[in-house]
Structure 1
């Protein structure tokens, strides 16, 4: 776990924040950074059309597999990946951008304990990477702080990625304490700035983001790995996120 004060850049709270752990769908964030940087540099066209049939099918979360539209532009795929954790859209972006480019971007961002390792798969065999992505709480919190402070590649890239992430619908973990509308929370009447991204896989829950109110602003990351033996085991893991959310709300307000 890591909580960092946005103004001071100092740790408010940390615990084993240097440990590299699986982060599931949170691996999409450096992919989005590389995509936005490519848009800004002109090496990729946001309106380039990607055919769904060219991407290997995956039955994990997301909505593109259920849509009638057989093709979408890269910019729309980025919105699906950020807002709904769409596995098929993420795989399409990764195939177009290229895993080597994302890995170079991760290095340029100074993330030494984080990696995007593979695309989403329905099943992982012995020849596949064991996880989609790995990372540490410290680096995830730093990455989100750099996005809202306009330091991730450039102000334009930072703003674009933050805008995509502000559309995220998953407010069920830390964000459950904010009381925000999951489908329309980019402009809050009570002065709450919030962006986040979650990751989920068997025995893994993770969330990173930024929450800022009138009193303070923080970036945060929490990774919980647990034995997913029953609903009760899973709910205990979720309770840890909700407890952190309440504490963060009290800190920023």
Structure 2
């Protein structure tokens, strides 16, 4: 019998701090981990908590996803997202969720948090992530001493567990889980761990190369984070791969992080198909 390939070695010391966890979604068995409880900055990953809160309220009938919401100029944020480039000033909650999931839209995220309240999203995070992963704040162009230091923090153990629950329909309820999975399947950022799967970033809502993927990423200065679920017809793995480093403007740490994340994805793919 051939020996299974060893997962990539993650340095315990060095410029990059890692938190990694991969699980079999059917059993929740840990397949590989590295410092899974270490809390790191996770940028946009925690926007998933807002999507879960929205889906949960829609599931109970408390909110209608067809409700139309306006975007206040005060919540506009640059960088990721498409709404800042669109002429439409009002969108349905469903459309807003699609923008958040597909392009990590910052303006849409802030509008969604306004509708749900930050406190409600944080309460949902406490229920879903016992290790303390959370969304601290709105997305902002500039952070001052009056604001939380970072948008979100999290650990890989929280995220691999939460994603396993989403995959198995255990996140709040089955309808909520399905809705969040459908939204996350639209994500266009497959540049990190998911780059190993060689899927079309603009169209992967149906199986391709025998794989189905849904995920959420987070990117900031010195931050890369990718959490998701990848499955074949027979097996399904949840993964969370988080990396932080002190960014000095050089390219090498980023290259190292991106290469390592892809290597973890390639190992996961070999295991998934074994």
Would you say the 8 A contact 2:129–2:162 is kept in 1? no
Structure 1: distance between partners of 2:75 and 2:234 = 47
Q: Secondary structure at the match of 1:218?
A: strand
Q: Which residue of 1 aligns with 2:3?
A: none
Taking structure 1 as the reference length, what is the TM-score of the superposition? 0.96
Superposition CA RMSD, Å: 1.3
Deviation of the 1:234 alpha carbon:
1.3
- 1:7: how far off? 2.2
Q: TM-score if structure 2 supplies the norm length?
A: 0.89
User: What displacement does 1:214 show?
Assistant: 4.5
2:85 paired with 1:66: yes
**How many equivalent pairs are there?**
253
| Counterpart-to-counterpart distance in 1, 2:241 and 2:67 | 35
Question: Aligned residue for 2:259?
Answer: 239
Matches within 5 A, 1:69-108: 69-108=88-127
For structure 1, the residue ranges without an aligned partner over 5 or more in a row are none
Structure 2: state its 5+ residue gaps.
1-19
Q: Which residue of 48, 64, 69 corresponds with 1:45?
A: 64
- Tell me the alpha carbon deviations over residues 31-74 of structure 1, each in whole angstroms, 9 at most, x when there is no partner: 10000011111222211211123552211211100011111111
Aligned residue in 1 for 2:158: 139
**Which of the residues 224, 231, 236 maps onto 1:205?**
224
Does the 8 Å CA contact 1:167/1:184 hold for their aligned counterparts?
Answer: yes
Runs of 4+ in 1 over 4 A off after TM superposition: none
Once structures 1 and 2 are overlaid, which stretch shifts more, 51-60 or 166-175?
51-60
In structure 1, distance between residues paired with 2:217 and 2:53: 19
